[in-house]
Amino acid sequence: MGYGFRMRERIYQAFFGNKRCCLLFLTLHASLFTLNLVAQPGTWLTHPSFLSAQTLAAVQNKIYCASENGFFYYDPAANEATRLSRDDGFSESGISQLFYLADQKRLLIGYRSGTIDLLAVTDTGEPGNLTTITLIRDAAQIQGSKRINQLTRAGNDAYLACDFGIVVLDVARAEVRDTYRNIGPGGTPVTVYATALANDSIYASTSRGLLAARFAPTVNLAFFGSWKTVSLPPGTSVKSVVGVTNRLYAALPGQGVAERQGGRWTVIKPLPTITGLLSTATEWIATAPDELQRVSGVLMQNALLGEPKEITEAAGSFWVADSLSGLLRITGTAVQAVSPDGPASDVFQRLVSSPSARILALPGGFTDDLKPLRRRRGFDQFQAGRWQNFLTPALPTDFVTAAYNPVDQRTYLGSFGGGLWSTTNPNPAEVVNRVFTTISSLAVDPNGDVWLATPTLDFGRATIQVRRKNGQFESFTPSRGDIQQLIIDDNGFLWMRLSTYNGGGMQVFDPATKRTRLLSDQSGEGSLPDRNVRSLVKDRDGLIWIGTDNGVAVFDNPSAVFTATVNAYRPVFDRRRLLSGESVTALAVDGGNRKWIGTGNGLYLFNEDGTVLLNAFTADNSPLPSSQITDLAIEPASGDVFIATPNGLVSYGGTASEPAPVFAGITIFPNPVRPDFGGLVSIRGLVENTVVKIMDAGGQLVYETRSQGGTATWNLRDYRGRSAETGVYFVFAITADGKEGMAGKLAVVR
């Protein structure tokens, strides 16, 4: 038994005590496994939807599959799905094509950007080394989209169908050999959706129709004159084409599967409802609503089948990449969905946090003229490291807002056209009121009354509703009804963000006196940096923070809003007004009263008053899928920050959580710290402004800090910057007044 093992054993005994040491360690290990589903402090997690499957490949005994923003492989023998991402070394997200090079044991991964990864795999299909080719992505002479749409292989040459033409890739040398651009009639540019090899020709399905060229060494395929337009039956168009065993097949809408024989098309499989054509290595497979058909008849009829994109056959099953249902396995007549856990969508307009440690992701939203921005039934919920989808047909098309009511412990949801709904976790939502059909924003006051904004561009109509605790509704009519967002301040006043389509600005309404105050960019009347207000939030001190198209403003005395003169102040950072010139699209306040600010150019973390920049993230320096931030929400118990962008949803392990009202126990994570850990240790369960002291076994002070809300963090370095050594450390947490305290132990193994 080596010295390292004995040293670790002593640490575990010192930490846990000699009794039941193994049992306690195993219990801790199991809890760590669960907690690892949530981002550790200072780290990122991506939350892609795996239901929007686009492409797949059978790789040894694994099935690799990519959705719009997700990537994973499935092991049929173990019935396990393993997520893959940029954290595993892949170039980026946004995979558009997978193709397995079996003779080389390499998986070709094509991206929407034009980047190509060549992934070496083991004999059992696990990922290995990676080679990246960026020539297409970086080609300055190619303007516009460089998306890789499809791939056809002939020997060592892979013909990549791209949005700008065809690229020939030598897969043996991992280099681009040729590019065919402007191959349309007369040399016009075309988008190439797919290529197929058949009848001694290469066919290209393009934005200018079906093109073909003789496939021979003497033919210059880079010359547009080599490509001829293939005629189609009168009144038809080609939906998709595939080449199987040197024969060409096409999907003819309204007719079925047609084969090109002797220069003519012959329908060999009548299927009037045909939507497309896929292929395996040995046969074509036609797609129709809820149905797959092959030469011998129906392969599959199932409601799970939505929009199949690709199909392959392996491990005794057919595998389908479906853009609505994810990866499907078809074995005989049985159909199984095998995608990893995740949200049902990649794009969310609204994120809402709940004190019950939940994040609700809502797909719906409004345009500036109060029209629906996106339409998808239901909503998604993240809790305890797992996603749950609420997508039943009975739910309204568009949930656009939500608010948690701690009095009745229900979450209320507002929809576009479907009224007010509510839910208690984990039960599905149920309708509360359909009279107020369209609800743009919800807020709950301390009494448990639920306030609804029911917007309209028509003046003089009641556009504020309140549902009292007894279930009765009351209506109010403020000056303007074009309400995009509603929050409640500590005085009970309603602060409202108004539609930029109707002049923008804000209004404040006092339900007790029926007073309304309109706020604009005029001095004395609000002095907003810009009339286009994009976001509102109330901080922990009761101040109202405003995000506009010209930076941030703050109302630091909300109780005086109905006085004669009202002016917001603008925090100053780096000798200029905070984020002046930037559109501030999202605001959130963490447990330390720090301000998370989302803009069209990135995500910022500022201190309590917005004068000190603590962190800045963009798509270039972080895993953010886009620098354009749509919305923010902070899970209060952990402090994790959820960030919605047009290209997907991510979360960042926060370092500030909501403070506990009194000490009831502290949580130290991770504990023990293992040799490969390089992040932050978090101490949670603290009260506001807790003093945290970390001491070594000899009683020497190693580190001291104060909590941000209910969380303190340690970077495992002492006050001189030296890395913490192997040993047991004692953590002391003391209230700011020194009257209460708690202690814990932390084991560090190096």
Q: What DSSP letter does each residue of 544-611 carry, written as one string?
A: EEEEETTEEEEES-GGGTTSS-EE-B--EETTEETTTTS-EEEEEE-TT--EEEEESS-EEEE-TTS-
* CB 500, CB 485: distance < 8 Å: no
Q: Which residue, 458, 482, 531, 507, is CA-closest to 369?
A: 482
pLDDT at 437: 87
The DSSP bridge pattern shows strands 399-405 and 386-390 to be: unpaired
Residue 723, pLDDT > 60, answer yes
Selection from 331, 335, 432, 426 nearest residue 388 by Cα: 426
**Other beta carbons within 10 Å of 608:** 16
Name the token pair of 41: 């402090």
Other Cβ atoms within 10 Å of 30 Cβ, number: 10
| Number of helices followed by number of strands (H, E) in the chain | 3, 66
Q: What percent of the chain clears pLDDT 90, i.e. is strictly above it?
A: 72
Give me the DSSP letters along 463-506: -EEEE-TTS-EEEE--S---EEEEEE-TTSPEEEEE-GGGT--E
| CA–CA distance, 464 with 462 (Å, rounded to integer) | 6
And the tokens for 416? 């576009």
Residue 401's H or E segment, with its range, is strand 399-405
Give the single-character DSSP code of 104.
G
Query: For 30-44, 79-93, 405-419, 652-666, which range has the lowest pLDDT when averaged over its residues?
Result: 30-44
- How many Å apart are CA 548 and CA 542, to the nearest integer? 19
How far apart are the C-alpha atoms of 603 and 229, rounded to whole Å? Answer: 49
For residue 369, give both structure tokens.
Answer: 């003229």
Does the N-terminal peptide bond of residue 670 adopt cis geometry, omega within 30 degrees of 0?
yes
Give me the pLDDT at residue 306, please: 87
The mean predicted confidence, pLDDT, of the chain is: 89
For the chain, the distance separating the N- and C-terminal CA atoms, rounded to the nearest angstrom, is 18
Q: Which residue has the higher pLDDT, 246 or 397?
A: 246
Residue 401 · residue 445 · CB < 8 Å: no
Return the sign of the alpha-carbon dihedral for residues 191, 197, 202, 208: negative
Closest among 178, 49, 171 to 107, alpha carbons compared: 171
Q: Tokens 């998808």 appear where? A: 376
Q: Which of 675, 672, 683, 674 is nearest to 714 (CA)?
A: 683
314 burial type by CB count under 10 A (0-12 exposed, 13-18 middle, 19+ buried): buried
Best-predicted range by mean pLDDT (49-63, 86-100, 285-299): 49-63
Which of 355, 341, 390 minimizes the C-alpha distance to 633?
A: 355
CA–CA gap between residue 510 and residue 562 (Å, rounded): 9
In this prediction, residue 398 has a pLDDT band, given cuts at 50, 70 and 90, of confident
Q: Give the whole-angstrom CA distance, residue 329 versus residue 337.
A: 6
Distances (CA, A) of 419 to 323, 377, 453: 29, 14, 11
- Quote the pLDDT of residue 32: 26
- Pull the structure tokens for residue 488: 């409640």
Question: Is pLDDT of 224 > 90?
Answer: yes
Q: Rounded distance, CA 192 to CA 162, Å?
A: 5
Name the nearest CA neighbour of 241 among 266, 208, 278.
Answer: 278
Tell me the whole-structure pTM to 2 decimals. Answer: 0.85
518 pLDDT above the threshold of 50: yes
Provide mean pLDDT across the span 629-654.
94
Could you read off the pLDDT of 546-604 as tens digits, one per residue?
Answer: 999 999 999 999 999 999 899 999 999 999 999 999 999 999 999 999 999 999 999 99
Structure token digits, residue 355? 């004190």
Residue 30 pLDDT exceeds 60: no
State the average pLDDT over residues 54-76: 96
Percent over 70 (pLDDT), the chain: 94
**The total number of residues written for the chain in this structure:** 750
pLDDT of residue 17: 40
Question: What's phi and psi for 539, nearest 5 deg?
Answer: -90, -175
Quote the longest CA-to-CA distance of the chain.
Answer: 93
Query: Is the per-residue pLDDT at 141 higher than 50?
Result: yes
Q: What is 700-714 written as a DSSP string?
A: -EEEEEE-BBTEEEE
Tokens describing residue 594: 């720090």
In this model, does residue 335 exceed pLDDT 60? yes
DSSP state of 339: P
The amino acid occupying position 298 is: V
pLDDT digits (tens, 9 = 90+) for 146-161: 999 999 999 999 999 9
DSSP β-bridge partners for residue 645: 648
The strand pair at 566-567 and 525-526 is best described as parallel
By CB neighbour count within 10 A (0-12 exposed, 13-18 middle, 19+ buried), where does 715 fall?
Answer: middle
Instruction: Give, for 278, the enclosing helix (H) or strand (E).
Output: strand 276-279
Identity of the amino acid at 353: S
DSSP β-bridge partners for residue 119:
107, 130
Q: What pLDDT is attached to residue 375?
A: 64
Given a cut of 70, is residue 746 above it in pLDDT?
A: yes
**pLDDT tens sequence across 153-203:** 999 999 999 999 999 999 999 999 999 999 999 999 999 999 999 989 999
Angle between helices 21-35 and 3-16 (to 10 degrees): 90
Distance (Å) of CA 677 to CA 56, 526, 621, 715, 716: 34, 50, 21, 11, 10
- Average pLDDT (206-232) is 94
Give the pLDDT of residue 38. 60
Tell which phi-psi region holds residue 558, choosing left (phi > 0), alpha (psi between -120 and 50) or beta: alpha
Nearest to 505 by CA among 483, 478, 538: 483
Q: What is the model's pLDDT at position 108? A: 97
